[in-house]
Structure 1
Amino acid sequence: MIKKRILLSLVAVMLILSGCAGFQVGGDKAKTVEAEAEGKVVVDFWSFWGSEIRRPVIDKIIEDFNKSQDDIVVKHTFIPWGDIWTKELAAIAAGDPPDVVINDINATALRGEKKQAMNLSEFLEKDDISERFYPELWDATLYEGDSYGIPFNTDTRILYYNKAAFKEVGLDPEKPPTTWTELEKYAAKLDKKNGNTYDRLGFYPLFGINYDVWMLNASGKNFVDVEGNVEVDTDVNQETLNWLLKWKERYGDNVVNSYKSQIDSQQSNPFFTGKLGMFINTPTFYTQIRDYAPELDFGVAMLPEREPGNGHTSWGGGFVAEIPEGSSHPEEAWEFIKYLTDKEAQEYWAVKNYDNVANVEAAEAAAKSSEMSEKDQVVYQMAVDNMEHTLLTPTPLDAPDFPTLINPEIDNVMLGNKTPEQALKDAQAAVEQLVEENK
């Protein structure tokens, strides 16, 4: 009898403890336990999408995937932007990586070379989904001809302009500038000077984007190509830097710095208040206009080209879904990635987040979505159209850190410490040396 009571007491304690443990295992952990009990494979998916806007969207996509089949359960693990990739590398080194992770598209080939991301060729031989995506994005995922990540979302840079200000100074609000020369002329007309200050600045090229985008716009080429050829010190890049210096000298440091501080505060961006006539940014910048300046009468256009026929080249980046090397469930991870990058999930992400997606069919459908207002559709369609002119800058395998050698030289130009010719010559030599060291 005593032994029986002891046994019953032990069972009761175990039940209590198991109940407490079950209470403490909340959310995704509880789902994992339940899924494993049902014999399903649990795919651990890491992302940095934890905001009140993006988290519900990605969680809905995951929920839909989990309901779409009976063999796999995806568990979403949110890790903040500043930590996710450091933790991923540590997990890979420890032999316990996630099954899917969202990563930067421009370094995909580099991670392939370092065997941090899985070669996806065996999956693509059975399910070739490469045609889903913009070619520029797909090419950025390749290392030695094989893909190491599947494009998820992207971006580009477009010109926003104030239509009301155009009308005020006699410019056609339906005809934005198409060349650098027109851009200068339009900016001069839009300028509204009051003594030594400006009530309105027509345009400044280094608000919203940096010098490298203008060099890309001018040349249509990256600084370092896939073969390791360096094209930093070129006539076109010298011309571009001299052009940027003209703008800086025209307005002066005080005006530029004053406007820059307002732009950095977001809500008081001078473009919202009509104090800046034209501004370059990503298509998602439009969501800030919706929030902070809903009555603003504006238009969107491609980046002006250096000269007629030169091309409206813009710059973009983006993210991919990868299977880290060492994943415990690569086949199941692949099934989730296929779903994540297919039309339905991509269109849902695009519309709900107002974000540019990598799937061409989904992007084109999102631009016509009935859930978007007419203005939403106009800006999104410009983003879609602009992808044809958008270049990515994949990290060169022979020069992974080359921007750290160029940026200080360009800073010296803008500070007046070096001429464009000398700075580009020095940058060229430094990057060539880096390539030589890495070959």
Structure 2
Amino acid sequence: MSAGLAGAVGLSATACGADGGTAGGEVTLTLVATEYGTPDTGGGAERYWLALIQRFRQQHPNIQVDVTVLGREEVATEVSRMVREGRAPDIAQLGSYADFAAAGELYPVRELLSIPVQADFVAAFAAAGEVRRTQYGIPFTASTWRLFYNKGLFRDAGLDPEAPPETWEELAEAAAALKAAGVPVPYALPLGPEEAHGEALMWMLSGGGGLTDSSGSYVIDSAPNIAAFTWLRDVLVGGGLTGPREPAVTGRREAFTAFAAGEVGMLNGQPALLRLADRGKIDCGTATLPGKDGPSQHTMGVADWIMGFDNGRRRAAGRFLDFVFQRHNVKLFADRYETLPVTLPARESMLEAIRHQRLTPFLQQLERASFYPVGKVSWAEVSLALRQEIGAAVLPDGDPEAALRSLQERAERAEKAAREG
């Protein structure tokens, strides 16, 4: 047990139902959660959970909640180990849920949350939690992505800082002007193994493509996707507009750090980059992702998930999760860690708050966000292949069509294996 678990033991709340929480009895829930805290957020996620559990205890004194908070790199590994050893947590909050759902280890959301709470979620995020049309993943945090640009570098390059590019052509023109003004990285294109699948999806979406079609089948080698990566190879990379390092070895964190240091003119980013830009004293703007012929109609949405394991304590877990998603609690977490709320009431509260004005464009995009196909068991293998291989498509001698076709074939094999397994 971590210090977080030891600190939370005994924080409890009213039992509900016949799964260990009958009237007069007690039930103890175990929760494993992901760390979100940074030096700028006034404490780690444990602080949030302990305060929330204490408030829950006041209303439900017969349900105890023991919480362990783990780093993002270790939480999935630890939960998987717990499941293999037959001691799955009652509730886990982490980055994926599909493997557990496919193995029959999770409660469907409809068996956990009350109907009013289910109705509060942003529809696009709730739908992303489905496996074969049944929702198992409950969205916990969200982010949408926009084009970030350095207004100071735009001014130095003779560009209008209030008129960011809206098309691929305008983006290339702005990048060329930044390059001529001596900006080290006019446009950062992180297609290295760290998070290439995210950058790839944004370019697919802005070109009218995507990873899957409306039926959920992989379409990685679609004509719009091939056209997007051919343009990247020939125009951005071929024009020397992505800096001295090859995109195939450039990571997302590296790109964000360079932006905060004033070395990058433009890149795709999420709300967390705002805090980094503040720290670097960067006067930055954000804009809708540029599209092939106009502003993109889609943006990438990313969510972390919370889920209930089928341990026989469904009603107690559901009562706690209903409390987690009360508007005040959702907004409090989003406020502290500058993520986006996943429920409509919390979103409306943040839209009305002056202090969150710079998040308004991100919040307004929530309902038109597109997601990784996280409900597919095959996605873990496909996303790894994308991270490892997609960068080669934009090398000077790269072949986007061949690279995307190879990834499509791998995706189809992985999907077939997942279905047969």
Change in Cα spacing, 1:305 to 1:254, as seen in structure 2 (3 Å) is closer
Q: Which residue of structure 1 lines up, in the alignment, with residue 373 of structure 2?
A: 394
Work out the number of aligned pairs and report it. Answer: 393
Q: Which residue pairs with 2:299 in the alignment? A: 314
Q: 2:90 aligns with which of 83, 91, 99?
A: 99
**Structure 2 vs 1, CA of residues 57 and 112 (structure 1 numbering), >3 Å: closer, same or farther?**
same
Structure 1 residues 418, 134: CA separation in 2 closer, same or farther (over 3 Å shift)? same
What's the CA shift for 1:99? 1.6
> How far, CA to CA, are the matches of 1:265 and 1:437 in structure 2?
35
> Take 1:300 and 1:316, find their aligned partners in 2: how far apart are those partners?
16
Distance 1:192 1:87, change over 3 A: same
Equivalent position of 2:79 in the other structure: 88
Which ranges in structure 1 are unaligned for 5 or more consecutive residues? Answer: 1-24
Partner in structure 1 of residue 40 of structure 2 = none
- State the identity as a percent: 20
Counterpart in the other structure of 2:340? 356
Contact 2:94–2:305 at 8 Å: present in 1 too?
yes
Q: Distance in 2 between matches of 1:402 and 1:283?
A: 26
Answer whether contact 2:149 2:266 (CA < 8 A) is retained: yes
Distance (whole Å) between structure 1 residues aligned to residue 284 and residue 67 of structure 2: 39
- CA apart distance, 1:31: 5.1
Q: Distance in 1 between matches of 2:334 and 2:387?
A: 33
Range with greater deviation from structure 2 (228-237 or 248-257): 248-257
In structure 2, distance between residues paired with 1:98 and 1:265: 35
Q: Return 5+ residue gaps in structure 2 as ranges.
A: 16-20, 38-42
Are the structure 2 counterparts of residues 206 and 77 from structure 1 closer, same or farther at C-alpha, using a change threshold of 3 Å? Answer: closer
Q: 1:233 Cα deviation (Å)?
A: 1.9
1:384 aligns with 2:363: yes
Cα offsets for 1:161-213 (capped at 9, x unmatched): 222333344433222111111111122222235xxxx4444323437852232
Q: Which amino acid aligns with 1:92?
A: V
C-alpha change, 1:119 and 1:73, in structure 2 (3 Å) is same
Q: Distance in 2 between matches of 1:430 and 1:273?
A: 38
Structure 2 length normalisation: TM-score? 0.82
Alignment TM-score, normalising by the size of structure 1: 0.79
Question: In the alignment, is residue 236 of structure 1 matched against residue 224 of structure 2?
Answer: yes
How do 1:418-437 residues align onto structure 2 when only pairs under 5 Å count? 418-437=398-417
For residue 247 of structure 1, what is the aligned residue in structure 2? 236
8 A Cα contact 1:133 1:359, kept in partner:
yes
Report the Cα distance in structure 2 between the residues aligned to 1:229 and 1:427, rounded to whole angstroms: 13
Indicate the residue corresponding to 2:173 in structure 1.
185
Matched, 1:297 2:312: no
Query: In 2, Cα distance between the equivalents of 1:278 and 1:138?
Result: 31
Equivalent runs, 1:309-348 vs 2, <5 Å: 311-326=296-311, 328-348=312-332
Q: Given the superposition, is the C-alpha separation of residues 139 and 48 from structure 1 closer, same or farther in structure 2, using an over 3 Å criterion?
A: same
Residue 406 (structure 1) shift? 4.5
CA gap 1:76/1:428 in 2 versus in 1, 3 angstroms: closer
Q: Is this contact kept in 1: 2:27–2:62, CA < 8 A?
A: yes
* Distance (Å, rounded) in 1 between the aligned partners of 2:152 and 2:392: 38
Distance 2:237 2:57 in 1: 54
Shift in alpha-carbon separation, 1:397–1:166, aligned structure 2, 3 A:
closer
The farther-off stretch of 206-215 and 283-292 is 206-215
**1:335-373 CA-partner distances (Å, limit 9, x unpaired):** 111111221101111112211121122123124436x3x
